[in-house]
Amino acid sequence: MERETKALLTVGEDDFARVVLESPRPAVVDFSAAWCGPCRAIAPVIEGLADDYADRVTVATVDIDDNPRLAARYGVRSVPTVMLFAGGDVKRVFVGARSAQEYRSGLDELLVH
C-alpha cells in the first residue's frame, strides 16, 4: 500500500505499476530492506531527491522483504539497488550505496532526454 512521507512514496506489488510504470514522469525506485546498513545510509539521500525533484520525478522505495516478487521481477540481488524508470522501462541501475551526486547526475541525464 502506498504511504507518503514528504515527496517519498513507499510502494509495493499492489501499486507499483500505477505509481512507477504508469507515471507520466520519470521515477526513481530504491529497492531496500530494513536490515540493510547501506540502505539506511542512503535513505536521507533518497529523501533529498524526493524533495528536490518533487515537481519533476516520482521517487519511491520498495522493501524487498515485503515485496519479494517485485524484487525478483527486476532482478534485485543486492540492496540497495536504485533504478531509474522512464516510460515504464528501466533506464539505469545503481547497485550498492552511491553518492548523492551520482544519483543526481543519472536523474539529470534522464530528464534531459
Q: Where are the domains of the chain?
A: 3-112
DSSP 3-state assignment of 8? strand
Can the peptide bond before residue 80 be classed as cis, meaning omega within 30 degrees of 0?
A: yes
- Catalytic-residue membership of 39: yes
- Catalytic-residue membership of 98: no
Distances (CA, A) of 95 to 26, 51, 69, 78: 19, 22, 18, 7
CATH H superfamily, domain 3-112: Glutaredoxin (3.40.30.10)
Residue whose entry in the numeric block shows the C-alpha cell 512514496: 9
CB 106 within 8 A of CB 84: yes
Question: Which one is catalytic: 7, 19, 27, 39?
Answer: 39
Question: Which one is catalytic: 8, 20, 27, 36?
Answer: 36
For 39-92, the pLDDT digits (tens) are 999 999 999 999 999 999 999 999 999 999 999 999 999 999 999 999 999 999
Question: What are 31's three cell numbers?
Answer: 529497492
